[in-house]
Chain A
Amino acid sequence: MKAAPFEYCPAASLDEAVALLAGDEDAKVLAGGQSLVPLMAMRLARPSRLVDLNPIPGLDWVRLDGDRLSLGAMTRHRQVERHPELRRRCSLIAEAVEQIGHVAIRNRGTVGGSLAHADPAAEWPALVLALDAELVARGPAGTRTISAPDFFTSVFETALRPDEVLVEVRLGLPSERAGTAVLELSRRHGDFAIAGVVAVLETDGEGAVQDARLALFGVGETAVRARAAEARLLGERPDDRTIAAAAEAVDPDLHPSSDLHGSAEYRLHVARVLTRRALVQARERAGRRP
């Protein structure tokens, strides 16, 4: 369990980080190290150069501006979960982040690292899909913006190029009247989810659903929006029957695999049950602050 040798390059600025990445095709960014270092210890990853973003000042921020939230890539999970103003405005994000690993992992692990790592069972990718986020990357040619659905391409694969650094994620917060929920099933507290769901539900003055978002994780190559289920809800009253029908409609969007932790059918079943429960919880929270 010892990493292979590598060249350690602490970056003093983003420009330097990009140049260091461009200078070695087997270079990798080191953020919180909570996913990369275990992979290196097991020698599943053997980067020849590590470009450490930790010394770069000013890459961690939580900025709330009305319905917009901007997070710096090096913002630690704990910084997000311990931001009282954000928790008041949108408890969904803190509730999801609290389910990541354990305190010591969240003290160190970063928002950008979770997104760039793109574990299909992780919470952040589902959150940014549900909240229609944009991800901002910096490369040798400058800065570009990638929408969340375009960002996640496959298991542990993203649209980031090897010489690009993720610098920021911009999320759209649900309306204050919306109800939200995040539910997941894992064997032990802090484990990656076997299946999980992020739900946002908002009704209009008549009680009909005007905004429904469901993002599932652990049930495919990437986190995924359950579009068919969302469509089933729009314009309807979110009564138990409609919610049950929506939960049944998650199937076509999900492609779970079978592994040690559960078969594909089991994961699909869990996804349906969690979707139903999350929608009920979101409905109960809609229209009032949690």
Chain B
Amino acid sequence: MSWRELTLTVNGRRLSGRAEPRTTLADFLRDELGLTGTHLGCEHGVCGACTLLMDGATVRSCLIFAVQAEGHELETVEGMAAPDGRLHPIQEAFSLEHGLQCGFCTPGVLMSVRELLHENPDPTEQEIRTWLSGNLCRCTGYQNIVAAVRRASTMLRDGA
């Protein structure tokens, strides 16, 4: 069915591509805009790999059609590091604490952690685990993810 030109705001930039109504936001970002940082695991809302921020709140980009994202502010993992490549403190903390192994789940986890630390700058371990229950990781066993979130929380509160 009908393809059309679509312009979305991603990490503050206006980017255009072509989409069918059934094109998911995740597929549009990856295949049309070349932003392959957002990963796709299950494509039906369960794994969390495709999580990104829409108007500051996490959403599954496999459960939103690209046409629905027009007029909204999107943030993906590509927008986290500074233009000069310096890592965002949350990314830095994940690197320091080995909060990732293969890295497949990591973009979605980072987006969820951004929302968590924005709402709750000093979460308990239980709060971290509950919050991240929607991001499946097959590698780490979650221990180091939790450690990384705690470290990121400290770094952000100390103004790192």
Binding site for B on A (CB under 8 A): 1-8, 10, 33-34, 37-38, 40-42, 50, 52, 54, 78, 101-105, 107-108, 188-190
Interface range, B side: 20 to 34
Known contacts A104-B51, A104-B58, A104-B112, A8 near B67 by CB under 8 Å:
yes
B133 at the interface (CB under 8 A from A): yes
Report yes or no: B62 in contact with A41, Cβ–Cβ below 8 A: yes
Residue numbers in B under 8 Å from A7 (CB-CB): 1, 21
Residue numbers in A under 8 Å from B1 (CB-CB): 5-7
Report yes or no: A105 in contact with B60, Cβ–Cβ below 8 A: yes
Q: Which of A5, A8, A54 counts the most chain B CB atoms within 10 A?
A: A8
Known contacts A6-B1, A103-B58, A190 near B22 by CB under 8 Å:
no
B35 to chain A, nearest CB (A): 18
Known contacts A5-B1, A50-B21, A107-B57, A38 near B133 by CB under 8 Å:
no
- SS class of chain B's interface: helix, strand, loop or mixed? mixed
B152 at the interface (CB under 8 A from A): no
Complex: how many Å from CA A225 to CA B142? 39
A187 to chain B, nearest CB (A): 12
Report yes or no: A33 in contact with B134, Cβ–Cβ below 8 A: no
Residue numbers in A under 8 Å from B59 (CB-CB): 104, 107-108
Complex: how many Å from CA A1 to CA B62? 10
B63 at the interface (CB under 8 A from A): yes
A-B contact pairs, 29 of them (CB 8 A): A3-B24, A5-B1, A5-B21, A6-B1, A8-B21, A8-B65, A8-B67, A33-B63, A33-B64, A34-B60, A34-B63, A37-B24, A40-B22, A41-B62, A50-B21, A101-B134, A104-B48, A104-B51, A104-B57, A104-B59, A104-B60, A104-B112, A107-B57, A107-B59, A108-B60, A108-B63, A108-B64, A188-B133, A190-B134
Residue numbers in B under 8 Å from A190 (CB-CB): 133-134
B68 at the interface (CB under 8 A from A): yes
Known contacts A105-B134, A188-B133, A6 near B58 by CB under 8 Å:
no
Residue numbers in B under 8 Å from A37 (CB-CB): 24, 44-45, 62-65
Q: In residues 30-84 of chain B, which contact A (Cβ within 8 Å)?
A: 42-45, 48, 51, 57-60, 62-65, 67-68
The proximity string for B residues 124-135 relative to A, scoring 1 for CB distances below 8 Å and 0 otherwise, is: 000000110111
Report yes or no: B58 in contact with A2, Cβ–Cβ below 8 A: no
Report yes or no: A189 in contact with B63, Cβ–Cβ below 8 A: no
Given contacts A37-B65, A78-B57, 17 further A-B contacts (CB under 8 A): A2-B43, A3-B24, A5-B21, A6-B21, A8-B65, A8-B67, A33-B64, A34-B45, A37-B24, A52-B68, A54-B68, A101-B134, A102-B134, A103-B134, A104-B134, A188-B133, A190-B133
B108 to chain A, nearest CB (A): 9
Report yes or no: A4 in contact with B22, Cβ–Cβ below 8 A: yes
Known contacts A5-B20, A52-B68, A108-B64, A38 near B57 by CB under 8 Å:
no
Q: B132's closest neighbor in chain A, by CB?
A: A102
B115 at the interface (CB under 8 A from A): yes
Complex: how many Å from CA A107 to CA B64? 12
Complex: how many Å from CA A190 to CA B65? 23
A245 to chain B, nearest CB (A): 35
Residue numbers in B under 8 Å from A8 (CB-CB): 21, 65, 67
